[in-house]
Every structure is written in C-alpha cells, then in structure tokens.
Amino acid sequence: MLFSSPIFLLVFLPLVLLVYYLPLRGCRVAQNVFLLLASLGFYAWGEPWFVLVMLGSIAVNWLLGLWMGQTVAGTRPRRLATFLTAAFNLSILFIFKYLTFTLSSLRAALGAGFAVPQIALPIGISFFTFQAMSYVLDIGRGRAPAQKNPLWVGLYISFFPQLIAGPIVKYETVAAEIRDRRENWDDFSAGTCRFAVGFAKKVLLANTLAVAADTAFGAAGLSVGLAWLGSFAYTFQIFFDFSGYSDMAIGLGQMFGFHFLENFNYPYISRSVTEFWRRWHISLSTWFRDYVYFPLGGSRVNSRGRHLFNLFVVWLLTGIWHGANWTFLCWGLYYFALLALEKTLGLDKRGLTCWRILPTFLLVNFGWVLFRAESLPAAARFLAAMAGVGAEGFWSGAATAVLRDNRVIFAGALLFSTPFAKWLGARRWTRGVWGSVLYVAGLLAAALLAFAYIAKGAYNPFIYFNF
C-alpha cells in the first residue's frame, strides 16, 4: 500500500486514526495492539504471504533479545547471541534478496545450465531486517532493556509509517515511546503538515522528474544534452522521492505520538562527499556507523591502511544493501574511492565553500547514473554520452522536449533542494497569523493538486520500496 495512493489516504489512514483516538483513547495497550494489527494489515495489502516473513522475523528477534538481555558483556554467550542475531537476519536478507542474483552470476561465470529459482522480494525487507537487528544489538550494547512483551517488539519492527522505506529507527530511540508517549494537538498538526509536504514532494516533483529521467535512461540514442538532463532529473527525482517518503513517515509518526529522527538535511548543498553522507539517508549512515564502522575501530586505528579497510567494508556493504545488482556494488565502491581520496588528501577541507558545493554535486550526480542504470555497460554508455563519447550530437529534439516540458519542475527542484523554504519561513514578514494562513493555504493547494494527479493514475511508485 502506497502512502500516496487513494486507498491509503481516503480509507486506511482515516480509519486507523479514528479507531486509535476515539474508542481506544486512554488505553495504551489497546492502542499498541491495534497499531500492530493495522501495520500487519498494511504490509499484507500487496502480498499477504510476506506477513509470514515479517512475523517470523519478529518472533525470532524477540527470543534473541530475551537471550541477549540475560548474557554478560565480553562473555562467550554474549558473543554467540550477537553472532546468531547477525546470522539469522542476514540469512533472511540473503535468501530473499541475493540468492537469485548469486546463483545467476555463478551460472553465467561457470557456463552451467542449472535452474535458478525466482524468489519474490518482500517489500522493505532491507529496512525492517536492519531494525530487527538494531533491537537485539541495542540490548547487547546496554542501550535498551529486553522487551518481554513480543507485541511491543512486533510494533517496533512493523510500525507502518517507517516499515517500507525507513527511516531506519533504532530501538533505543523509540523504546520509551512504545511504552509511554503523549499525543497532543501540536504534534498532530505538525505531523499532518509534514505529511502533506512529503506528499507534494513525491507527487508533484519526484513523479514528474521520473518521466524525464526515464526518457533519457530508456533512449536508444543519447545526445550530450539529453544525457545531462536525464542525470539531473534522476538526481532530483531520487531526492524528492526518498525525502518525500521520509517526510510522510515522520509526519505519520507524529500523528501517533512517535518522534523519528530526521533522515535528510539538504544533501545537495554539501561541500564534500563526507558531508553529503552526513546529510543523505542519515538513518542508514548512522546504522552502518554504529553497528559496523565503530565496532571495526572506525578512524581510531593505528594505521591508515586499517582505516581504509574499515571504510571499504562499510561501503561494500552499503552498496550491497541497496540491491542485488553489480551496479549497486560498484556504486558503493565508487563512494569508497571518493571518501578514501578525501580522507587521504584532505580534499574535504580545501577551497571556498561555494566552489566545493558544485564539484560535490557533480560527483554525486555521476554516482546516481551508476545507481539508476540497469547494468554496468548501460551506466558506462550513459556516462560516456555525458562526456560526448559515442553521443549522437551535442543536442537533440528529445533534449529540447525534455527541457521544454520540465523547465519549471527543474527550477522548482533546484530551489526546494536548498534551505530556501526554511529561510523564507524564518523571515519576519512570513511569521504571525497571516504567515501561518499563507503557509497552510499553500500546503493545502499543493496537497490537493497532488491528489488530483494520483486520482488520474499518475506515475506513483517509491524508488526505495525496491530495497
């Protein structure tokens, strides 16, 4: 079920809010049980049997959490519990997400003729698996107590606002709110506005940019201009698609009294690749930092080689996490190479700010071409066309059409990927009663326009649902 679908907006969400706040108000246990059942129903909407995978993950990680809570740091039982937590969760991820790819790659490499099973990918499995691991590992790190009630563990892992595409919520940040949270009108109204912002970003910007990006990446022949326009379109599409989903998830959480951490902080104004990854998909970067990079020793190791090895492991895993394709693996290694150069040469600290933003943006843009391409040869062909190699001229009719049809969207995407709206809201003449009225009116107009688009069946899937 999509957040931007009519069934969610007109049926599921209103029904869940009504039941949560009217007959169940004042009974936290009943509210939590209802949210768990609603979340499982939300997940089952597309493919009911996927719920069995979810329930299996909840049950086993709850038991692992109980065991972890009974072990002592530094002992063999603690190490065994940690190993089994990683082994179980990563095995689930491997079977459903990577087994088909691995067997296909082996068959191609060996020239063998064995059959490769086609295994359906449970939606959002990478996200909820990392959350499940976070629960058990946080207990082992002493950050949160083991939860004796399996229903509360189930709610943490399956809570529908962040179930499909994050943010990846660490158990330590919401453990207290599962037991005791305070809903209020300020949070509810702020959450509603945040949801509307994300909805508008997704439908009005990301979906429109997706058409331009698909035109370029699906073209039989590329001019230099079309290749660059397509790369920029996808760069902005994935930002507004994913940050829009995060806005909607954070807003939905607020409506029910939960407070999730921010997942984006204007990543395209970053002055280095290092800074970009402090601003982009913050919950994933933080997860790998806390559960992989720091345990390996991070940057506090006795040699540069070991530090680079730690970075290599993190970015290899980051690339693999995003998908079962050589393009994602190479995308992760691309960022390892960039970050290794920055760390080794100190490039993230040199030059004026304004001159560091543009090169960083272009490096990120090249990376998104690799991320979007169907294969490595397709990525190489696209990047070569951007450089004029093998391109069908500098400009083309297709490039003219893309620019003509999307010039306003490109301008809006550039503007709203910066803190312009935040700056505007802080001005004295936009505050007060009239400022609030204008803000709500503008938001309502954008939300209604977005709803009109989806009502007529506009392009709609979220990119990160695939991960």
Residues with catalytic function:
322
* Residues in CB range of 257: below 8 A, 6 or more apart: 177, 181, 182, 183, 184, 187
Is residue 400 within a helix (H) or strand (E), and if so which, with residue range? helix 397-416
Dist. CA 409–CA 243, nearest whole Å? 17
Instruction: Please state, in angstroms and as integers, the Cα–Cα distance from residue 104 to each residue in 238, 324, 332, following that order.
Output: 28, 11, 21
Instruction: Please state, in angstroms and as integers, the Cα–Cα distance from residue 415 to each residue in 83, 269, 308, 360, 446, following that order.
Output: 46, 11, 36, 17, 16
Retrieve residue 272's tokens: 């280095």
Alpha carbon distance, N-terminus to C-terminus of the chain: 15
Residue 68 · residue 81 · CB < 8 Å? yes
- Residue 349: what residue type? K
Is residue 44 within a helix (H) or strand (E), and if so which, with residue range? helix 28-44
Instruction: Please state, in angstroms and as integers, the Cα–Cα distance from residue 41 to each residue in 47, 58, 160, 181, 442, following that order.
Output: 10, 15, 9, 23, 33
DSSP secondary structure string for all residues of 325-382: SHHHHHHHHHHHHHHHHHHHHTGGG-S-HHHHHHHHHHHHHHHHHHHHSSSHHHHHHH
Is residue 137 within a helix (H) or strand (E), and if so which, with residue range? helix 125-140
Q: What are the backbone angles phi and psi of residue 396, rounded to the nearest 5°?
A: -150, 170
Say how many C-beta atoms besides its own lie within 10 A of residue 264's C-beta: 19
Pick from 290, 211, 279, 193: nearest CA to 242: 279
Biggest CA-to-CA distance, the chain: 71
